[in-house]
Amino acid sequence: MIDKKHFKVFKDIVGDGNIYDDKAHMIAYSYDATRERFEPDCVLFPRDEEEVSKILRYCNEHKILITPRGAGSGFTGGALPINGGIVLAFEKHMNKILEIDMDNMLAIVQPGVINMTLQKHVEELGLFYPPDPASENYSTLGGNVSENAGGMRAAKYGITKDYVMALRAVLANGEIIRAGKRTIKDVAGYNIAGILTASEGTLAVITEITLKLLPKPKFASSYMAVFPSVDNAMNAVFKSLSLGANPVAMEFIDALSIKAIKEKLGINLPENAGALLIGDIDGNVKEEIEFQTKILEESFKENGANDFKVSKSEDERKEIWNARKNVSQCVTIYGSKKLNEDISVPRSKLPDALREIYKIGEKYGFSVPCFGHAGDGNIHVNVMVDGSNKKELEDGHCAIEEIFKLIVDMGGTLSGEHGIGLSKAPFMDIAFNKAELQLFKEIKKAFDPNNILNPGKMGL
């Protein structure tokens, strides 16, 4: 518990209406998408970088814990104040697009800007910000950077880290730093912006973000391919890409997920489909769309596709994407609790990885519907259990651990986009050796020697 004597100092810094310790705020800021709850002692809404600096300096002197928070949409507990302390929230004030530099194609934003707000704003100017996490309508860019968010367009355009040019951030001791530049090239000094990206608020508090923008493509279309089995679909993924296909997205839905979508929402999907691949193609000339479509269709059919459909209108594009955008909510027909992991493997390992994941599900008697971003090797694995059954929960976590070990042995990783946070912290020693884990701890200590910034996350 924070001694109440500190509250007057915080109030002097942020002003009336920007500090709360009432029960309603404590509950509202106690959870994220994991639905686990840890109440803070108070919530602060800083108005600018200088206030963030003053807060951190004071908290560092008095060993008061701080949890930076965007929209609280994370799936691994990265924004949970697990030991109480302060939640530092940015959505109220530090939520502005500060500059769009058309000549250099970059945006400068505050951390509380919603991802989709930036996307829409720059598209009106003929530019394009590609990273599109599923939470794009409500997740903040500060949170996206802190978790290195991915999205469906990652197959062609990459993820958040590929667009972070520079950051301003406040260290635990209150000092303000600049990391990176507005230039395309910058090899002077360590890549501190790269270290802060995906650091989950454990190293510093991000206060300003400079992001690379692209020209908006002029044309786009969507496709859906129907396969008799997951094996066929997964082989089609890496083989089509090696032939020169460059789709914006290549999303995967397995047979269990297809059944759930049809049963829960009544969406019309192909009968007896073993798997679907859904995606977008874009370009600046129609011939480019036609060329990419031809490669995909030929490769998919060579790998067993029963059908290949291409959209001819915006309504058809929406129809194709309807199933993929609704799959997550539908798989709950298989269990009241979803143990959702976002493993990632080299694309050529996708067939083997899914085959073995389904075997682990069979071993424990669980349905394990899978879907996700096959184009970049990132699959959402959902071990479905009865949340009220303690034995099933324990077995479910054992299954997850086996899946993690399998994926790491294949050269993959624990998380493709959700991060480590609290929920995956116990599994870090599966993916990293002692020397690597010790290095992480030493980096944390260099940035935050008193361990006041989001302690307990990532196993730090």
Question: In this predicted model, what pLDDT tens digit does every residue of 297-312 receive, in sequence order?
Answer: 999 999 999 999 999 9
List every span in the chain annotated with CATH 3.30.465.10: 97-215
Give the containing element (helix H, strand E) for 395.
helix 390-409
Tell me the per-residue pLDDT of 72-106, one tens digit each, with 9 for 90 and over: 999 999 999 999 999 999 999 999 999 999 999 99
Query: Considering only the top CATH level, what class is 219-409?
Result: alpha beta
Q: Provide the pLDDT for residue 47.
A: 98
Average pLDDT, the chain: 96
* CB 137, CB 71: distance < 8 Å: no
Q: Provide the pLDDT for residue 268.
A: 87
- CA 269 from centroid of its chain's CA atoms: 28
Tell me the per-residue pLDDT of 196-248, one tens digit each, with 9 for 90 and over: 999 999 999 999 999 999 999 999 999 999 999 999 999 999 999 999 999 99
Sign of the CA dihedral with 162 first, then 164, 166, and 167 last: negative
* CB 94, CB 112: distance < 8 Å: yes
Specify whether domain 97-215 bears CATH 3.30.465.10: yes
List every span in the chain annotated with CATH 3.30.43.10: 5-92
pLDDT, average across residues 440-446: 98
pLDDT, average across residues 37-58: 98
Q: Provide the pLDDT for residue 12.
A: 97
Cross-strand bridge partners of residue 212: 106
* CB 135, CB 71: distance < 8 Å: yes
Report pTM: 0.96
Report the C-alpha gap between 63 and 153 in whole angstroms: 41
271 band by pLDDT with thresholds 50, 70 and 90: confident
Q: Provide the pLDDT for residue 216.
A: 97
Q: Provide the pLDDT for residue 299.
A: 97
Q: Which long-range contacts (CB under 8 A, 24 or more apart) does 360-368 make?
A: 360/399, 360/402, 360/403, 360/406, 361/399, 363/399, 364/395, 364/396, 364/398, 364/399, 366/335, 366/392, 366/395, 366/396, 366/399, 367/256, 367/334, 367/335, 368/256, 368/399
List every span in the chain annotated with CATH 3.40.462.10: 219-409
Q: Provide the pLDDT for residue 259.
A: 95
pLDDT at 272 over 90: no
Q: Provide the pLDDT for residue 35.
A: 84
Residue 264: both structure tokens together? 């829960």
The count of other CB atoms within 10 Å of the CB of residue 219 is 14
Q: Provide the pLDDT for residue 366.
A: 97
pLDDT at 159 over 90: yes
What dotted CATH number matches 5-92?
3.30.43.10
Report the C-alpha gap between 20 and 45 in whole angstroms: 9
Q: Provide the pLDDT for residue 1.
A: 81
Tell me the per-residue pLDDT of 162-192, one tens digit each, with 9 for 90 and over: 999 999 999 999 999 999 999 999 999 999 9
pLDDT at 456 over 90: yes
Of residues 4 and 131, more confidently modeled: 131
Residue 329: both structure tokens together? 């909510």
Spatial CA neighbour of 419 closest among 359, 460, 385: 460
Spatial CA neighbour of 211 closest among 109, 71, 114, 123: 109
Q: Maximum CA pair distance of the chain? A: 71
